Structure 1
């Protein structure tokens, strides 16, 4: 990149988007944050409902060199997931093509696009996606739009991000729900905890996103962002229980699907390490301690 980047971050008011914006500010990179749910310091922008002309105006006036899409929905009716995870991506790609043709597009995808893998194995970027459930299917559809644009010549990359935790995690995440339950009623009730996930701190994810956004050369079209280590969800909940120092009960409803449905997910992150020198820095125990202190 040139050193005179202008980064647009869509979804800047969310868990990931806000952390990315904070890191850009810390690095002295010019950026503009756009958010559906917040005003200042971000501009209001709802990709699911705004007119294409309004989006074209935003992008055309700012002339970004990088666009980061942190917009997404994890819960809701299928139509809501399609609007946030597919239609919004299509709208952004079309507007960038017409108004900022040389901008790099960074799509924040999800490990849910892969589905699960055999216990003890790592999922690399060549693994065939087999998502389970509407969230994974719609995230995959959005990512496929980006990968198609990349094959057509666009400077575009999808980051498949594994389970994000850390300070400020929302209740749509395992740690956010567990912390809410511990603080409010000393009862952990989040479905089955007998699943293994690759938990990665939001601050490490932001570092990966910024590294991709500002890389001099075009990154590979698809990169995993995780730690390379799967942890049993029950152990994560137990660690937060110990941090709380309070009596609590864990209600394990094995009739529920649990987190994303797949019993095992673990990232292979060798490609992003080789190409960009990125690796996670924040240990799981530190991330959980920081989460409990902040939430």
Structure 2
């Protein structure tokens, strides 16, 4: 860390982006957040719709040393996912190429880019890329744009986060849907819970982002961020129900409307290999899944 970082965070109003901004503030790192929605403390800027002059002006005036793209589309049809996960990345990279040439670019990727793996195995950064649904396909396309820039000399890193959980989990996530239904209904209507996923707390992911933002050395082009341990979604949901103190019954059926992620059938198993990020940054998750679930329930609102 040089002590002179100026970090721009796109998607600052979102689940992960807000945590990144909070951690930057806590550590006294200068930053500026941008969000699709208006309102303090972030500035409004939609990467998919803003005129390139608006984006160029922001980068040219602020002169960031680090740019974090935590903006993404997680729901909607293929057009919406393409705009949010591909077009937005292209727009940002174009402005960076002209107005923030020396800035480190951090793209928040997704384990959905990998798709599934044989049960019991861990996926490292060289794992096959076989996304199982539209969300993963469009996230992979966005990451490939960043990796192309990296191969052409940009200081760019794709952080492939596995299933982000924790306090404030949005309705687009499994845990967010469960929390919102608990206490309001006696029956939880969910999709199949046969999937094994690597859940990592949003606070740990934010910590990894800041570690990349403040690292002095050039880093590998792709780094996994996960817990390194898969958990059965059914067990995770059961634990949340237990923590709620309710007697809610879980009914498994079709995925919720607008679901763009991979089903348990398409991607039955995912588990991160985090050897590389531990080697280069000394990062490892600090918050166990059970504590994350406790905090998720305690912070419901």
TM-score using structure 1 length: 0.98
CA deviations 1:159-201 (Å, max 9, x no partner) are: 0000000000101111101111113213221200011000000
Alignment of structure 1 residues 254-265 onto 2, 5 Å: 260-261=262-263, 262-265=267-270
The corresponding residue for 2:290 is 285
Q: Which residue of 1 aligns with 2:53?
A: 53
- Residue 253 of structure 2 is matched in structure 1 by 253
Q: Quick check: 1:139 aligned with 2:144?
A: no
Question: How far apart, in 2, do the equivalents of 1:122 and 1:231 lie?
Answer: 13
TM-score computed with the length of structure 2 as normaliser: 0.96
Kept in 1: contact 2:136–2:261 (CA 8 A): no
Structure 1 residue 114 corresponds to structure 2 residue 114: yes
**Structure 1 moving runs of 4+ over 3 Å:** 254-259
Alignment of 1:67-216 (within 5 A): 67-216=67-216
Q: Distance in 2 between matches of 1:141 and 1:277?
A: 29
Distance (whole Å) between structure 1 residues aligned to residue 165 and residue 245 of structure 2? 20
1:258 shift after superposition: 9.9
Could you say which residue in structure 2 is the equivalent of 1:269? 274
The gaps in structure 2 that reach 5 residues or longer are: none
Gaps of 5+ in 1: none
SS at match of 1:31: strand
In 2, Cα distance between equivalents of 1:186 and 1:56: 51
Distance 1:88 1:258, change over 3 A: closer
Q: CA RMSD in A?
A: 1.3
5 Å-filtered alignment, 1:227-238, equals 227-238=227-238
Distance 1:152 1:2 in 2: 25
Name the counterpart of 2:299.
294
Alignment CA distance shift 1:255-1:106 (3 Å) = closer
Asked whether the 8 Å contact 2:244–2:297 carries over to 1, the reply is: yes
Cα distance, 1:128 vs structure 2:
1.5
Residue in structure 1 matched with residue 62 of structure 2 by the alignment:
62
How many residue pairs match? The answer is 295
Match of 2:200, SS state, is: strand
CA distance in structure 1 between the partners assigned to 2:167 and 2:54 by the alignment: 34
